[in-house]
A and B are shown apart, each in its own frame.
Chain A
Amino acid sequence: MAEKVVLLDFWASMFGMRVRVALAEKGIKYEYREEDLKNKSDLLLQMNPIHKKIPVLIHNGKPICESLIIVQYIDEVWNDKSPLLPSDPYKRAQARFWADFVDKKVVDAWIKLRSTKGEEHEAAKKQFLEILKTLEEELGEKPYFGGETFGFVDVAFVTFYSWFYTFETFGEFSTEAEHPKIIAWAKRCMQKESVAKTLPDQQKVYEYVLGVTKRSLGE
């Protein structure tokens, strides 16, 4: 049976990128549809009526929403190659925990970073660096968060690498200086075709965010 896989996405979304990386890891052919977030398609609204957000994976007509849920789905359905989650239940729990950590902490910290000034901004910067520190400690000496091989947590976090220049410019810090292991890990991931071909250029992302920020400030 021919598999029909469609991805509704937005080029700069680190969440959408997770799905693209997973699909590439598994060698899955799919149709990519770029969404205009200011003018969402009928298909998106129909497939994700609850949140009206990308990414949405449509597999043989059935929608799956929420990036980490989609990545797990992909891993479970296309289980013949490149497993993203480990098979041991404890290791799976750990992988899910850290992916969840990225979800809960990083975006929140970024929002604080970009929307605050003065003392609040300093606190936001401190918080962001704390999060990177925690992740760096979890990585330890392993080549990937998943251990010897690229896995679920790597997929969950590496897409944020395309936003690092943005985070660093708004936050006025250097990840390389503060947490070099994170940069080393990101560059290692970028050696993988699935990651390199998916992540957009950091400068491009920055220009996009700058544009959005200017518009929201009414400039």
Chain B
Amino acid sequence: MASQEVKLLGFWVSPFSIRVEWALKLKGVDYEYIEEDIFNKSSRLLELNPVHKKVPVLVHDGKVMAESFILLEYIDETWKQDPLLLPQDPYERSKARFWARVAEEKLLEYSFTAMCTHGEKKEQALKSAVEAAEKIEEEMKRNNKKFLGGESIGYLDLAMGWIAYWLPVWEEVGSMQIVDPSQFPATTAWSKRFLDHPVIKQNLPPRDKMLVYFHERRKILGGLV
């Protein structure tokens, strides 16, 4: 194949752009990473993603694409080498897509809100986050393999990877607990295995910087949420 130019626009602490980096690195795809300041968006970003004005954006041989879950599927369909990210079976694929959305639309949303708010708003968000985590824990329990993708990391592991690393930071910043290891043994065990994977371990933002960053976000958003 002719030389493939792959560029990824991301933000150092975004779980959305990092999950795409994980996918590219797992597949051994070379790419140029471009750091975007999402608080001071470049004309390049606005040009490449005028609809949402967000990272990540993937550019492959001039083809521009956005939305991290969509990018994971594109990567899997384009670079067909191991690890195969999505299940082969259509039903299993539909389940992976379903649970990715549950984790994103419920657990992530509520956890982040709980981190940024206080009082009753926080209590409500926290309760909803724990409910979502419980459902995910059941799925984790049902999966008796090393990863949700089987023996190798798959789409759903990448989609949920933020739970292993970002969530504990948010819990600390928000002085709250959502995934109590004693109540969520399967999720906790999966998180450890996920973070232990050499590719994942080497591609995580520094925790101390994350704490500073999210403390700041909490302050700023706390007034608005």
Knowing A64-B91, A96-B70, A101-B51, the reply to whether A69 touches B98 (Cβ < 8 A) is yes
B192-210: CB near A (< 8 Å → 1, else 0) gives 0000000000000000000
Binds A, one of B6-14, B60-68, B116-124, B213-221: B60-68
Residue in A64, A73, A93 with the greatest tally of chain B CB atoms within 10 Å: A93
Tell me if B74 and A93 are in contact (CB < 8 A): yes
On whether the beta carbons of B73 and A76 are closer than 8 Å, the reply is no
Contacts of A100 in B (CB 8 A): 67, 70
**B77 contacts the other chain (Cβ, under 8 Å)?**
yes
Interface residues of chain A: helix, strand, loop or mixed (majority)? helix
Task: Answer whether residue B156 sits at the interface, using C-beta atoms and an 8 A cutoff.
Answer: no
Given A62-B91, A70-B94, verify A97-B67 contact (CB < 8 Å).
yes
Beta-carbon contact of B90 and A73 below 8 Å: yes
The residues of B that contact A73 with a CB separation of less than 8 Å are 90-91, 93-94
Does more than half of chain B's interface fall in helix, strand or loop, or is it mixed?
Answer: helix
Q: What distance in Å separates the Cβ of A117 from its nearest Cβ neighbour in chain B?
A: 23
Q: Mark A122-154, 1 if CB is under 8 A from B, else 0.
A: 000000000000100000000000000000000
Query: With A and B bound together, what is the CA distance between A92 and B135 in angstroms?
Result: 30
- A69: chain B residues at CB < 8 Å are 94, 97-98, 101
Docked-complex contact A97 and B90, CB < 8 angstroms: no
Whether B65 pairs with A76 at a CB distance below 8 angstroms is no
A66–B74 contact, CB under 8 A?
A: no
Determine whether the beta carbon of A92 is less than 8 Å from that of B94: no
Contacts A50-B102, A66-B101: A90 and B65 contacting too (C-beta < 8 A)? yes
Task: Say yes or no: is B40 at the interface (Cβ < 8 Å to chain A).
Answer: no
The 8 A CB mask of B118-151 against A (1 = contact, 0 = none) is 0000000000000000010000000000000000
> Does A19 have its Cβ within 8 Å of any Cβ on chain B?
no
The answer to whether A93 and B91 have CB atoms under 8 Å apart is no
- Residues in A neighbouring B51, C-beta threshold 8 A: 101, 134
CA distance A77 to B93 in the complex (A): 11
The answer to whether A89 touches B78 (Cβ under 8 A) is yes
User: Considering the chains assembled together, what is the distance between the CA atoms of A66 and B102 in angstroms?
Assistant: 10
Interface residues of A in 80-131 (CB under 8 A from B): 89-90, 92-94, 96-97, 100-101
Contact A77 B74 (CB under 8 A): no
Q: At the interface, yes or no: A65 with Cβ under 8 Å from chain B?
A: yes
- B-facing residues in A26-47 (Cβ within 8 Å): none
B70: chain A residues at CB < 8 Å are 93, 96-97, 100
Q: B98 to A65, Cβ gap below 8 A? A: yes
Q: Using a CB-CB cutoff of 8 Å, which residues 92-119 of chain B contact chain A?
A: 93-94, 97-98, 101-102
Q: CA–CA, A79 to B135, complex, Å? A: 32
- B71 part of interface (Cβ distance < 8 Å): yes
Bound CA–CA A76/B96 (angstroms): 15
> Is the C-beta of A72 less than 8 angstroms from some C-beta in chain B?
yes
Assess whether A93 is in contact with B98, with CB atoms less than 8 Å apart: no
- Tell me, in angstroms, the Cα distance from A32 to B132 when the chains sit together: 30
Residues from 179 to 196 in A contacting B, C-beta threshold 8 Å: none
A12 to chain B, nearest CB (A): 23
B131 to chain A, nearest CB (A): 10
Q: Quick one: which of B34-80 are within 8 Å of A by CB?
A: 51, 60, 63, 65-67, 70-71, 73-74, 77-78
Q: Which residue of B lies closest to A98 (CB)?
A: B51
Additional 4 contacts, C-beta under 8 A, given A69-B97, A97-B65: A62-B91, A69-B98, A90-B74, A97-B66
Task: List 10 A-B residue pairs with CB atoms under 8 Å apart, sorted by A's residue number.
Answer: A50-B102, A62-B91, A66-B97, A69-B98, A70-B94, A89-B74, A90-B65, A92-B74, A93-B70, A96-B67
